[in-house]
Chains A and B, each alone.
Chain A
Amino acid sequence: MARQGRNVQPSTEGVDESAIPVVEQASESVNETINDTVVETVSLSRKVTNNTRSKLMFPVANLIVESGKSAVIVFDNEAKLSKFMTDVEQLNMLNGGGIIVE
């Protein structure tokens, strides 16, 4: 096929999902100063608590959270955070609730 061996082309829309976000203790929101006004940006850190009976895995972070345990995930961009929240929403529907994100 003519397409075989095509060079890697940069994506204009794609988001890198291959990187594994760092899992660490809760981090504070980042503050930055613009024109002498303090603007609080959206925190990319979330604490997830698994109160379901099942062990759960969050594919955006490749993170397993045991039943009854919690973990803190720091995302490196908002798109990943958004994907994570959508996954949690669906997992809550499948499990009848029990996953709490703070």
Chain B
Amino acid sequence: MGVPFTRQLGARSGVQLNPLTDNTERFVSGNADQVFGIVGRFERGRIDKAFDITAGNQRKRLGNPSSTVLSKLNEAYVQTYEAFSNGAYAAVVSRLVPDTAVLSWMVARNGTTTWNIEATPVAPYLVAVKHLECFNDGVIAEIHADTDTTSVVLRLRDKVDNNILYEFVGSLNPESKDEFGASNYLPNVVSAATDDVEVMVGNGAVADVSDPFFGVDAEGYDKYAVAELTYFAEGGTSYELTDYDRAVQALKYTDLEFGYMISGGSRAIPLLSKMIALAKDINKQFIWDIGGEYTVEQAVTFYNQLNIDTHLSQCYFAPLYGDDPVNGGKDFIGCGGIQVGMRCARNARTDANGIAPRNFVVAGRDWSLTRTGIVQKTFFTDQELDLLAKTRINPVMYVKYTSGGRYVFFDSLTGSKTESDKKLIAVADMSCYVDDVVTAVSQESLQLPMQTGVKRLSDFLQGFFEAIEAAKWIKPSKDLGNRSFVATVAPNANRPSDRLDVGYYLRYDGTVRAIYVQQTLSK
């Protein structure tokens, strides 16, 4: 025996080594708070579920950008781009399409007209391919068959740069196996590689020597049947309420995590209203814009008719005519993308306890806009600024400082119709994070024995609240007996065997929004 122990020692003499017990687990928050969710109209992207993108693959996965001058719907792409360039790690995208959108199959058959587009593949066919990423501009499809008549190479190329999106090498024979004994039947090869492409193989499909994609050409190169296929029809851009519902719900029922949501500059009342409802449902902050082309009266009326009263709605109004960083040209483009990008960048900067400086709200002098060529089209009077603050709209505007003027987020108010701490974005940002962390840890404590669960949660809360106190998120309060936090973890009195009550009281630090200065001359 090579090892001096056994795992199960019976009556005999010997050494039993038990599996390692690990009590070192600590809570790690991950970087979901550097990711944002967006619902918008794009040229590419799955329509059946939300998907994630990064700065590196935005063009590939969302398609070509178009100017906001052509359609304000294109602002979603620009805002996503600006969020990435200001520090967002990734985005979870729900693509908005009307229910008239049609995704067809790309069908390859024996014979000279190899590729066709069909709503449902009609037998007999060789392979049928469904590309679930729904490119408006289509793809270049290629197929090649080896001389054994069942081995095929299937490729999808990007029409813009001709790069290969997917390449699958497999067999048309369902019983075929590779040299390691694993199935290399083409549909199995595809499903093992990606869930963005579906492939079906026709019954008894085999390539024929007369096929233009069979074997090699006179120079010995593999022969391919190539076709540009526009297999997806977006169905226009007129959306019904159910279309908005579907897109918003896709953000709720996704396994991808995100910390914020943005509107992508949408002016659609149903979308904004449903996103605010979703924000309340999933406890995420929703950062959205009022069209910069509106007057103050229009902006206030637009805001008020949405009947908002939640700290999770955070609205910005930027009457700024600036350069479009993606398409060139100038237009009114909302600053929600820049705001969420800056918040993501801030959240990535954590202290020794893993706590980000969320008590520093993204507003004021230190967070000037990164956009170029800005011209402010509306200058606010004192009364208009008062009205915007009362309405809970945060203006984005030019402000002069002694260190130089700049375009900044001028205020930091949530949509909560209250004068309590809930009206401050910093408090909303911190309290959302605390709820997210505590619920995540609570979920990991489910199904543990009651006493173990109580101890684990109590220990965690003590450490966590001390950490956010060290980060100066919370401060001592008279109501809490000069402590910054009070937390209780106890089995419920009525259902002590299966229900655990967790409660916490926190006194958050605030934000300097108003400074009153008075000089008095003394004799």
Residue of A nearest to B303 (CB): A57
Q: Is the CB of A3 within 8 A of B59?
A: yes
A7, A18, A89 pick with most chain B CB within 10 angstroms: A18
Q: Are A11 and B85 in contact (CB under 8 A)?
A: no
B72 x A18 contact (CB < 8 A): yes
Check B270 against A10 for contact (C-beta < 8 Å).
Answer: no
B302-329 interface (Cβ within 8 A of A):
302, 304-307, 325-329
**Complex: A94 Cα to B269 Cα, angstroms:** 10
Q: B66 near A: Cβ within 8 Å? A: yes
Residue B417 interfacial (CB < 8 Å): no
Instruction: Given A3-B59, A4-B325, A5-B328, decide whether A11 and B305 contact each other with a Cβ distance below 8 A.
Output: no
- Chain B 382-408: CB-based contact to A (< 8 A → 1; otherwise 0): 000000000000000000000000000
CB of B74 within 8 A of CB of A57, answer no
Instruction: Please tell me if the beta carbons of A56 and B241 are within 8 angstroms of each other in the complex.
Output: no
Q: Give 1 or 0 for each of B43-81: 1 = CB within 8 Å of chain A CB.
A: 100000000000100010000111111111110000001
Residue of A15, A54, A62 near B71 (CB, 8 A) is A15
CA distance A90 to B244 in the complex (A): 11
A62 to B328, CA, bound (A): 25
Q: Within the assembled complex, what's the spacing in Å between the Cα atoms of A64 and B298? A: 7
Q: Check if A57 sits within 8 Å of B305, measured CB to CB.
A: yes
Judged by a CB distance under 8 angstroms, whether A59 is at the interface is: yes
Residues B269 and A59 in contact, CB atoms below 8 Å apart: yes
Does A79 lie at the interface of the complex (its beta carbon under 8 Å from any beta carbon of B)? yes
B497 on interface, CB distance cutoff 8 Å: no
Residues in chain B near residue A7, CB distance under 8 A: 327-328
**Within 8 Å of chain B (Cβ to Cβ): is A47?**
no
Contact yes or no, A17 B301, CB < 8 A: no
> Contacting chain A: which of B165-173, B207-215, B289-297?
B289-297
Q: Is B10 an interface residue (CB 8 A)?
A: no
A13 surroundings in chain B (CB, below 8 A): 41, 43, 136, 234, 236-237
Nearest CB in chain A: distance from B280 CB, A: 14
B193 at the interface (CB under 8 A from A): no
List chain A residues, Cβ under 8 A from B331: 18
CB <8 Å contact, B238 and A8: no
**Interface-lining segment among A25-33, A37-45, A80-88:** A80-88
Residues of A within 8 A of B460 (CB): none
Report the minimal beta-carbon distance from A58 to chain B, rounded to whole angstroms. 8
CB-based nearest A residue for B327: A8
Is the contact region of chain A dominated by helix, strand, or loop, or is it mixed? loop
Chain A residues near B294: list those with CB within 8 A: 62
A17 and B240 within 8 A (CB) = no
Confirm or deny: B456 has a beta carbon within 8 angstroms of a beta carbon on chain A.
Answer: no
Is B237 in contact with A15, judged by CB distance below 8 angstroms?
yes
**Once the chains are docked, how many angstroms separate the CA of A79 from the CA of B73?**
13
> Of B69, B237, B238, B302, which one neighbours A57 at CB under 8 angstroms?
B302
Q: Which residues of A contact B240 (CB under 8 A)?
A: 86
Say yes or no: A8-B67 contact (C-beta < 8 A), given A17-B72, A17-B267, A90-B270.
yes
Give, as a whole number of angstroms, the nearest-CB distance from A43 to chain B. Answer: 17
Q: Which residues of B contact A82 (CB under 8 A)?
A: 238
* C-alpha spacing A18/B238, complex, angstroms: 15
Q: Which residues from B are CB-within-8-Å of A62?
A: 293-294, 298
Are the CB atoms of A57 and B301 closer together than 8 Å?
yes
Taking a contact as CB atoms under 8 Å apart, the answer to whether B66 and A6 are in contact is no
Given A3-B81, A79-B236, A91-B269, verify A11-B327 contact (CB < 8 Å).
Answer: no
| B interface footprint on A61-101 (CB within 8 Å = 1, 0 otherwise) | 01010000000000000110011001101110011000000
Q: Which residues of B contact A14 (CB under 8 A)?
A: 66, 70-71, 73-74, 237
Chain A contact-residue range equals 35 or more
With the chains together, A56 CA to B303 CA distance in Å? 9
Q: Is the CB of B291 within 8 A of A90?
A: no
Contact with A along B203-243 (1 / 0, CB 8 A): 00000000000000000000000000000001011111100
Q: Tell me, rounded to whole Å, the shortest Cβ–Cβ distance linking A62 to chain B.
A: 6
A59 to B270, Cβ gap below 8 A?
no
Q: A3-B81, A56-B305 are in contact. Are A8 and B71 (CB under 8 A)?
A: no
Which of B70, B239, B297, B298 has the most C-beta atoms of chain A within 10 angstroms of its own C-beta? B70
Known: A3-B59, A91-B269. A10 touches B66 (CB 8 A): yes
Chain B 238-272, CB-CB to A under 8 Å as 1, else 0, gives 11110010000000000000000000000111100
Inter-subunit contact A94/B273 (CB<8 Å): yes
Chain B hits for A91, CB < 8 A? 269, 305
User: Distance in Å from the Cβ of A39 to the closest Cβ of chain B?
Assistant: 22
**A8-B329, A11-B66, A17-B71 are known contacts. Are A56 and B301 too (CB-CB below 8 A)?**
yes
Check: A34 CB closer than 8 A to any chain B CB: no
Asked if A16 is at the interface (CB within 8 A of a chain B CB), the reply is yes
Contact with A along B17-60 (1 / 0, CB 8 A): 00000000000000000000000010100000000000100010
Q: Which residues of B contact A78 (CB under 8 A)?
A: 238
CB distance from B63 to the nearest CB of A (A): 10
How close is A90's CB to chain B, nearest CB, in angstroms?
A: 4
Report chain B residues within 8 Å CB of A57.
298, 301-302, 305
Residues of A within 8 A of B268 (CB): 59, 83, 86-87
Top 8 A-B residue pairs of the complex, sorted by shortest distance between their CB atoms: A14-B71, A11-B66, A90-B270, A82-B238, A57-B301, A59-B267, A17-B72, A8-B67
A-B contact pairs, 22 of them (CB 8 A): A4-B326, A8-B66, A8-B67, A8-B327, A8-B328, A8-B329, A9-B64, A11-B66, A13-B43, A13-B236, A13-B237, A16-B71, A17-B267, A18-B72, A55-B301, A55-B304, A57-B298, A78-B238, A86-B244, A87-B268, A89-B241, A94-B273
A interface residue numbers (CB < 8 A to B): 1, 3-18, 54-57, 59-60, 62, 64, 78-79, 82-83, 86-87, 89-91, 94-95
